[in-house]
Amino acid sequence: DTEVTQTPKHLVMGMTNKKSLKCEQHMGHRAMYWYKQKAKKPPELMFVYSYEKLSINESVPSRFSPECPNSSLLNLHLHALQPEDSALYLCASSEGPGMSKETQYFGPGTRLLVL
């Protein structure tokens, strides 16, 4: 089973709201990723967690705050977002961060609309 689940599927929020996106995998993977995807564009990496520690932050604005409570869960906390942050937010996981374990499996995404 290579399933990554994400909730919610859709989210509408105002610029003053605080919300969270959730991602879960039960494959025993030790690396998890957040991507942002705008319409008709490829996914853009935001964060990488490896063994529950933040390993890569691709210079993402602080209004996006990731959290990895345990090896199966990954959250993305959102606060004071801008309309241009509207996008599909994808979570992915891989067996590990290193070579030969880097195959990434994606979840279905959360479609976010910021008003």
Token pair in block for residue 23: 């991602």
Contact status: 86 vs other proteins (CB under 8 A)? no
> Which CB sits closer to other proteins, 48 or 81?
48
Distance CA 65, CA 1 (A): 29
Are the CB atoms for 75 and 23 separated by under 8 Å? yes
Question: Strand, coil or helix: what is 13?
Answer: strand
Contact status: 27 vs other proteins (CB under 8 A)? no
Are the CB atoms for 42 and 57 separated by under 8 Å? no
Contact status: 102 vs other proteins (CB under 8 A)? yes
> Which CB sits closer to other proteins, 50 or 72?
50
Question: Strand, coil or helix: what is 61?
Answer: coil
Stretch that binds other proteins, among 2-10, 14-22, 61-69, 75-83 (CB under 8 A): 2-10
Which residues sit at the interface with other proteins, rule CB under 8 A? Answer: 2, 4, 6, 31, 40-43, 45, 48, 50, 55-56, 90, 97-100, 102-109, 111
